[in-house]
Amino acid sequence: MRELNLQEIQQASFQTFLKLDSLCRKLNLHYFLAYGTLIGAIRHNGFIPWDDDIDVMMLRPDLIKLAHYLDEHLEEETPFRLCTRENTKHYNCSIPRFVDNSYRFISNYPYEKPFELGAFVDIYPLDPCGNSVETGKLLGKKIRRWNKLFMIYLNPNNGKKNLICCVRYLVSFFMHVVWGFHYDYDAHVQRYINAHTKPNDTYVGVLYDCDPIRKDALLPATEHLFEGHLAFIPKDYDEVLNLTHKGYMTLPPEKDRAPHHQYSLYH
């Protein structure tokens, strides 16, 4: 296997995205380019030149349908799969990834336990989060706090030899005593969200990550060029981008124009 350079990583990610796009169109599922990928589409009609991954958002019901389809057609769709904390040992990301396992992913964080992953597309689940921005923010704040604790439960090692790391190990030990060694945290969070929201809520959000988004700002999705391919983007993409990337049409300083993920990809 050979380590890929940035342009080759972009191409591997793009080919993985094309497969995801094809499945979503086949199954009539909604996705939206998101975060840096959406900026790249609007500002560059493709990747931000120094970006090293692809981000999409999906409404939770569509993500569940995609997961069920891939489970039922595992052999047919190999080497593509949906990678989650439930089905991938030591995977610690709070979001699933759509993966081409003909590639090999290596994290450059030495304290992370290795897990099976290839070229990937990040999928950010959109859950209902109430009928006001305030309600959605409160729900997201609680879930982000829980998620930080669960990350300590999974791997207390933060790569540093200090008092904070020792405290993390103690907290992790206590949580294992209380929760056990096979705690289904994601199912717990989903039950909590379902109990405090309704499918027809005005706002949805990536509750691990960003502020609430008006559902009407996403749907009906429109299409925009990304690397020569028409991809789905939110109807009101400017409103969505301004929630997380104000002034997104302005290029960052040159010193900040670098990949932001710490990983290597091999093929």
- Per-residue pLDDT of 138-170, as tens digits, reads 999 999 999 989 989 988 887 777 888 889 999
**C-alpha torsion 66→69→71→74, nearest 10:** -110
Separation CA 133–CA 140 (nearest Å): 10
| CA proximity to 225, closest of 33, 45, 49 | 45
For 186, the token pair is: 């994601």
- Per-residue pLDDT of 16-27, as tens digits, reads 999 999 999 999
Tell the burial category of 177 from Cβ atoms under 10 Å away from its Cβ (0-12, 13-18, 19+): exposed
pLDDT band at 199, cuts 50/70/90? very high
Does 12 have pLDDT greater than 80?
A: yes
3-state secondary structure 27-66: HCCCCEECHHHHHHHHHHCCCCCCCCCCEEEEEHHHHHHH
| pLDDT value for 155 | 86
The amino acid present at 238, given as its one-letter code, is D
- Within 160-199, where are the H helices? 163-179, 185-196
| CA proximity to 66, closest of 77, 79, 55, 75 | 77
For 68, the token pair is: 């069920």
The pairing of strands 55-59 and 119-128 is: parallel
| pLDDT value for 169 | 92
